[in-house]
Structure 1
Amino acid sequence: MKLNHINLYSHDTDADRAMFEQYFGLRTLVVRGTKMVIMQDDDGLVLIVNHFENKLEGFGYPQQLDILHIGFIQKSRDAVDALYKRLSGDGWEAQAPRNAHGAWSFYFRAKGGYFIEVTTLTPVRSEEAYQKNQR
């Protein structure tokens, strides 16, 4: 099974579009005013950022949308650090990279209100180690 798309509610679709193009290499496929942007990465994953306030009525989004995040895997700690420096140099408020979940990572808030994680691969524990901890 392959993940096909991600659809995120955004407070600022224009700013998010620019960020995803500039820092993460996504290309824009469709722009529908300030209500929706459809983008795609090099592997075919589609990312949609929308500002459909009317669709929030009756939908149980949490009060704090900041728990929503997407992650971008980088090949190395140096690549994480380089992207952090680019974002910080351009005025984005991002926490300094640190060790988290066994990986080197940082988070920053998109203009749309959700968080973006930039990280190295997280080591996956073997099934045997997992089972030992469940006993």
Structure 2
Amino acid sequence: MKLNHINLYSRDTDADRAMFEQYFGLRTLVVRGTKMTIMQDDDGLVLIINHFDNKLEGFDYPAQLDILHIGFIQMSRDAVDALYQRLIGDGWNVQPPHETHGAWAFYFRAKGGYFIEVTTLTPVRPEEAYENKPQ
């Protein structure tokens, strides 16, 4: 299994985006105003920096809105479902898989309090593609 992404809360997504580009070489893939920036490193790891005051256009985070999470990518919907069944079978309290932001995914809370997302690839809508121009 491959670690797919890290999602961090930011009080200033524009400043953090500039820092990650300038000092760490991340590429910006998507900018959603001041609410979210999606970036990627040279190995494909995705870093999401967000400033969500509440749910963003139906982006279905767990009800507690604890948005700090790490994400693991699965290559198919069947693989997501299989891991869900394994976790349920081992007694974990897991949100059922569902369609969210263009992918098939579920969340569950780790013992440490943060969330883990298990998801298929999330498509980037063409209108969101970032081309180094102001938003």
TM bucket, shorter chain: 0.3 to 0.5
Bigger radius of gyration among the two: 1
> What's the TM-score once normalised by structure 1's chain length?
0.47
Provide TM-score, normalisation by structure 2: 0.47
Which structure: greater helix fraction?
1
